[in-house]
Structure 1
Amino acid sequence: MADMPLHMNLSVAKPLLLPLALAGLFITPAQAQSLPKDYRDWSVNCSNIKTCTAISISGLNEMGIGTRPRGVAVDTEMGWLWVELEAGPSAKPKIIYSGLYDASQTSNKEGSLRIVGRDGRPLANGVFVLTAHESGASQLRGADVDRFIAVAKSGQAIVYSSGTSRTVQSFASLSGFVAALRAIEALQGRTGTVAAWVDVGKLARERVPPAPAAPRVNALGFTKLSSRTTVPKLVSDRRKAECDDSDRLDPGGQGIEGFNLGKGRTLWAIPCGAGAYNMWSKFYLQTNSTKLEPYRFSTPEPAADEEDANSLVNVSIEPETGQISAFSKGRGIGDCGSAETYTWDGTNFVLTSLIEMNACSGLMPDFWPVRIKTEMVAPIKSKR
Structure 2
Amino acid sequence: MGHRILRTVLWLLLAGAGCAVADPVQHSFSDWQVTCNNQNFCQARNINAYNGLVMTLGRGPGARNDLEVRIDLGRIDRPITSPDVLSSDLRLDDAPLALSGKWQSTPHHLYSDDTATVNTLLATLQTAGSLSLSGGGQAISLAGLGRALSFIDNQQRRTGSESAWVQKGDKPPGAVPPAPALRQVSPPEQVASPLSARERQGLVSYGTWRMNHSDCSLDPRRRQLYIAPLSGSKALMMIDCEAGAYNVVKRLWIVTRQPPYTPRPLHLVLPFSPPDQSRELELMNARYDEGRSELTTLAKWRGIGDCGIATRWRFDGQRFRLVRYAQESHCDGWHSADSWPTLWVTQ
TM > 0.5 fold call: yes
- Return the letter of the residue paired with 1:54: A
Which residue pairs with 1:111 in the alignment?
87
In structure 2, the CA distance between the partners of 1:337 and 1:40, relative to structure 1 (3 Å rule), is same
Residues 282 and 310, structure 1, Cα contact 8 Å, conserved in 2: no
1:94 CA drift (Å): 0.7
Matched, 1:88 2:88: no
Distance (whole Å) between structure 1 residues aligned to residue 126 and residue 281 of structure 2: 45
SS in 1 for 2:124: helix
1:305 CA drift (Å): 6.6
Which residue pairs with 2:118 in the alignment?
145
1:329 CA drift (Å): 0.8
- Return the letter of the residue paired with 1:334: G
SS in 2 for 1:236: helix
Distance (whole Å) between structure 2 residues aligned to residue 290 and residue 148 of structure 1: 63
- Work out which of the residue numbers 8, 29, 34 in structure 2 matches 1:39: 29
Residues 49 and 87, structure 1, Cα contact 8 Å, conserved in 2: yes
Residues 97 and 137, structure 1, Cα contact 8 Å, conserved in 2: yes
> Would you say how many aligned residue pairs link Structure 1 and Structure 2?
314
Distance (whole Å) between structure 2 residues aligned to residue 181 and residue 97 of structure 1: 17
Higher share of residues assigned helix:
2
Structure showing greater relative contact order (alpha-carbon pairs closer than 8 Å, 6 or more residues apart): 1
Which residue pairs with 1:16 in the alignment?
none
- Work out which of the residue numbers 325, 343, 347 in structure 2 matches 1:371: 343
Matched, 1:256 2:225: yes
1:104 CA drift (Å): 11
- Return the letter of the residue paired with 1:175: A
Which residue pairs with 1:155 in the alignment?
128
SS in 1 for 2:119: helix
For structure 2, list consecutive stretches of 5 or more residues without a partner in the other structure: 1-18
Q: TM-score scaled to structure 2, two decimals?
A: 0.80
Distance (whole Å) between structure 2 residues aligned to residue 200 and residue 311 of structure 1: 43
Distance (whole Å) between structure 1 residues aligned to residue 38 and residue 273 of structure 2: 13
Q: Which structure 2 residues correspond to residues 169-188 of structure 1 after superposition, within 5 A? A: 170-188=138-156
Q: Percent identity?
A: 24
Which residue pairs with 2:263 in the alignment?
292
SS in 1 for 2:187: strand
1:310-339 Cα shifts (integer Å, max 9, x gaps): 742122221011111121111101111111
Residues 25 and 37, structure 2, Cα contact 8 Å, conserved in 1: no
- Work out which of the residue numbers 274, 291, 294 in structure 2 matches 1:323: 294
Q: TM-score scaled to structure 1, two decimals?
A: 0.73
Which residue pairs with 1:244 in the alignment?
217
In structure 2, the CA distance between the partners of 1:31 and 1:240, relative to structure 1 (3 Å rule), is farther
Residues 224 and 319, structure 1, Cα contact 8 Å, conserved in 2: no
Residues 51 and 86, structure 1, Cα contact 8 Å, conserved in 2: yes
1:115 CA drift (Å): 5.6
Distance (whole Å) between structure 2 residues aligned to residue 222 and residue 310 of structure 1: 25
What do you get for the CA RMSD once the two structures are aligned? 3.0
Residues 323 and 341, structure 1, Cα contact 8 Å, conserved in 2: yes
Which residue pairs with 2:95 in the alignment?
121
| Structure of greater Rg | 2
